Amino acid sequence: MSRTEISAGGVVYRRESGKLQIQLIQDRYGKVSLAKGKREVGETPREAALREIREETGIEGRIVELVDIIRYQYENEKYGLVDKEVRYYLVEALGGQLRAQQEEIRGVEWFSPEEALILHKKSGYENNHPILRSAMQMLGLKL
């Protein structure tokens, strides 16, 4: 019987002077990614996504809609095979101070959608790329 682990996060966006910007983080491995983390006991995936975004990036957000769910398995030295599910939401930034949670990530920045896609394709995770593209399409961008 394998364990199931649920994480949640989001594609965070804002409009700055009428221009759309997408938030990307640099994780502890130096890869470009999206803010996410494990759900805590008693938390819904939506609550977990907003908490993780707030903790990792300092940004308060509002969930617009679910972008997609990624499922994969990985080997945990303690529990063996783990079924991992990551729910990504489209999240509108409402406020807060942008700052990286140093224990978890190396950095966080806002990018134009074009820069975000290029940067992510160059040094992001393969399975996150469709998430980023879907979120941008939801925002009405022609890719």
Is the pTM of the predicted complex or chain greater than 0.75?
yes
Read off the pLDDT of residues 47-105 as tens digits, 9 standing for 90 and up: 999 999 999 999 999 999 999 999 999 999 998 999 999 999 999 999 999 999 988 89
**C-alpha distances in Å from residue 39, one per residue of 17, 64, 134:** 34, 19, 23
Domain spans of the chain, in order of start: 3-138
The topology under which CATH files domain 3-138 is Nucleoside Triphosphate Pyrophosphohydrolase (3.90.79)
Q: With 80 as the cut, is the pLDDT of residue 7 above it?
A: yes
Q: Give the pairing of strands 19-27 and 105-111.
A: antiparallel
What three-state secondary structure class fits 133? helix
Distance CA 112, CA 65 (A): 21
Q: Is 103 left (phi over 0), alpha (psi -120 to 50) or beta?
A: alpha
Handedness of CA 31, 25, 125, 143 (dihedral sign): negative
Given a cut of 80, whether residue 2 has pLDDT beyond it is no
Tell me the three state secondary structure of residue 20. Answer: strand
pLDDT reported for residue 103: 87
